[in-house]
Amino acid sequence: MKTDNKPLSELKRVREWAHEKIQGGNEPPWAWYQYMKLIEAVDAILDGLAATTENLQQSAEHQGTQLRLVASNDSRDTSRPRHVGCKVRMPM
């Protein structure tokens, strides 16, 4: 599976830019807070992408295995017969 890494590198670049703004110390408190939220949002996106990529790779590994039929040892004839006309008690 081939993926385009351009959006990933752009997200990392935006994160680094926000981090540099915070480290500069020239930003007002409200802007500092917004940069921190931006960094946290990018981190969450990158973590989600990493988890999704791992799941896709694991799914691809199992994709080659085929389903197989197995015999059932459960006999449907072993249930107790119910008489016709008998009321069935329902739990309340």
- What HEC string does 14-37 produce? HHHHHHHHHHHCCCCHHHHHHHHH
- For 71, the token pair is 């015999």
Chunk the chain into consecutive blocks of 10 residues (it has 92) and report each block's average pLDDT, rounded to whole numbers: 73 94 89 94 90 69 67 66 72 75
Q: Report the distance separating Cα 18 and Cα 38, nearest Å.
A: 7
- For 62, the token pair is 């199992």
The pLDDT, as a whole number, for residue 63 is 62
The pLDDT, as a whole number, for residue 1 is 45
Say what the pTM is: 0.53
The pLDDT, as a whole number, for residue 62 is 62
The pLDDT, as a whole number, for residue 52 is 80
76 DSSP assignment: G
The pLDDT, as a whole number, for residue 89 is 77
84 DSSP assignment: T
The pLDDT, as a whole number, for residue 87 is 75
